Amino acid sequence: MSLITLGIESSCDETGVALYQMGRGLLAHALHTQIAMHSEYGGVVPELASRDHVQRVIPLIRQIMKEADISFDQISAIAYTQGPGLGGALLVGASVANSLAYALDIPTIGIHHLEGHLLSPLLSDPAPEFPFVALLVSGGHTQLMRVDGVGKYELLGESVDDAAGEAFDKSAKLLGLAYPGGPALAKLASSGRPGIYKLPRPMMHSGDLDFSFSGLKTAVLTLVRQSELNEQTRADIAYATQEAIVDVLTHKARAALTKTGLSQLVVAGGVGANQMLRSRLTTEIGKRGGRVFYPDLEFCTDNGAMIAFAGALRLAQQQGDKDYRFNVKPRWNLEELVLA
């Protein structure tokens, strides 16, 4: 029987666990989101996040083992998110992973959260093949990467200020929407009318593959202040905001394919759940003969499956150890991983 990897994700406000078996795929996965708990505060409270992960992680592991009908002695390795993320939250997953692995005498492997996102479209059917360009759009990151294989990543461009997810979240807050703002703004935008407001598309024609979103947030703020806000104007502003972000992301993703000469684009990270982004990318990239791959919606935002999967791929490359002297890396550049 081939190796079964347990994956644990606890970098922010979601406790995610999963069991992945090479050759068979995902055996079971489960998630607990802390959104309701943090929404009272308008954003993630790190201390509360850690405390909640502590409560959730072991019952969730029990749950997926029962679902997959496997026992502890069938688990051959444990992968956990080592960074980037909230220090205390990461330590919960890392501690549980290493203690459990120590007790079972099996290896652990620390996974870069963004590598998890980057490889998550490979869990879907049809899956892309290497090499491809990945557009990584999460709450903290907006990056275009060339991916030639597991661990073979080249940064093509990234945001010089706010991430796309942050632009969604901050604009949503300005429109009075609850955290997390991305999905709420997208929902409001669905009753917005095109062409009412025009917002800037910073750096869209900068000629490189970098992004900037902080100017957009300022423009939304000005618009909100100047407008007479009612349900329709709020929806129209939401529409214009989403359109501006989607426009920039689509333009740069297309430019990245042109620059690399590749034809496959993979979209990963929470903002990849956005339907307007999905339909624009599919149309625009399709026009130039390219193809876009998305993770299943449940694997777009943070989850344990992507960590179990990335762990399984790395273990297949003989990585992982039984050292158990773990640390976490709240700030961790994906480029460092490539050099390691």
Closest distance of CB 61 from ligand KG4, Å: 21
The pair of three-digit structure tokens given for residue 232, joined into one six-digit string: 């329709």
The least CB distance from residue 89 to ligand KG4, in Å, is 12
Q: Tokens for 92, please give them.
A: 């919960």
Q: If you search the block for the tokens 């997208």, which residue do you land on?
A: 186
Q: What is the C-alpha to C-alpha distance for residues 77 and 79, in angstroms, rounded to an integer? A: 7
Cα distance between residue 36 and residue 34, in whole Å? 6
Q: Which is nearer to ligand KG4, 20 or 299 (CB)?
A: 299
- 76, 108, 137, 289, 296 from 71: Cα distances, Å: 11, 18, 36, 47, 28
Q: Does 169 bind ligand KG4 (CB under 6 A)?
A: yes
- List the one residue from 302, 304, 313, 320 that touches Zn ion (CB under 5 A): 302
Confirm or reject binding of residue 139 to ligand KG4 (CB under 6 A): yes
Segment 127 to 146, residues that bind Zn ion, using CB under 5 A: 138
Q: Which stretch binds ligand KG4 (CB under 6 A): 26-34, 182-190, 213-221, 308-316?
A: 182-190
Question: Considering beta carbons, is residue 12 or 64 the nearer one to Zn ion?
Answer: 12
- What are the residues whose beta carbons fall under 8 Å from the beta carbon of 57, sequence distance 6 or more? 8, 10, 15, 17, 92, 93, 96
CB nearer to ligand KG4: give 95 or 138.
Answer: 138
User: What is the x/- site pattern for Zn ion, positions 256-295, by CB under 5 A?
Assistant: ----------------------------------------
Rounded to 10 deg, the angle between the 214-226 and 164-174 helix axes is 10
Task: Note whether 140 binds ligand KG4 by CB under 6 A.
Answer: yes
Query: What is the nearest approach in angstroms of ligand KG4 to the Cβ of residue 192?
Result: 14
- CA dist 182 and 87 (Å) reads 24
> Which class for 63: exposed (0-12), middle (13-18), buried (19 or more C-beta within 10 A)?
middle
As measured in angstroms, the least distance from the Cβ of 75 to ligand KG4 is: 26
Q: How far is the CB of 272 from ligand KG4 (least distance, A)?
A: 8
Yes or no: say if 157 and 252 are a contact pair by the CB < 8 Å rule: yes
**Min. distance of Cβ 164 from ligand KG4 in angstroms?**
8
Stretch that binds Zn ion, among 27-35, 281-289, 299-307, 331-339 (CB under 5 A): 299-307
| Residue 84 found at the interface with ligand KG4 (CB under 6 A) | no
Number of residues that bind ligand KG4 (CB under 6 A): 19
The whole-angstrom separation of Cα 96 and Cα 197 is 50
Q: Which CB sits closer to ligand KG4, 128 or 270? A: 270
> At its nearest, how many Å lie between Zn ion and the CB of residue 138?
4
Where are the extended beta strands (E) located within the chain? 4-9, 14-21, 25-33, 77-83, 108-112, 132-137, 142-149, 152-158, 264-268, 291-293
Report d(CA 187, CA 260) in Å as an integer.
34
Beta carbon of residue 131, minimum distance to ligand KG4 (angstroms, whole number): 23
Q: Tabulate helix, strand, coil % of the chain (nearest 5).
A: 45, 20, 35
Tell me how far apart the alpha carbons of residues 231 and 221 are, in angstroms, rounded to a whole number: 17
Q: Is 93 in the site for ligand KG4 (CB under 6 A)?
A: no
Residues 296-315 that bind ligand KG4 (CB under 6 A): 301-302
Which residue in 189, 199, 274, 310 binds ligand KG4 (CB under 6 A)? 274
Is 116 a residue that touches ligand KG4 (CB under 6 A)? no
Nearest CA to 186 out of 202, 204, 172 is that of 172
Residues that bind Zn ion (CB under 5 A): 138, 302
Residues of this chain that bind ligand KG4 (CB under 6 A): 12, 138-140, 165, 168-169, 180-183, 186, 269-271, 273-274, 301-302
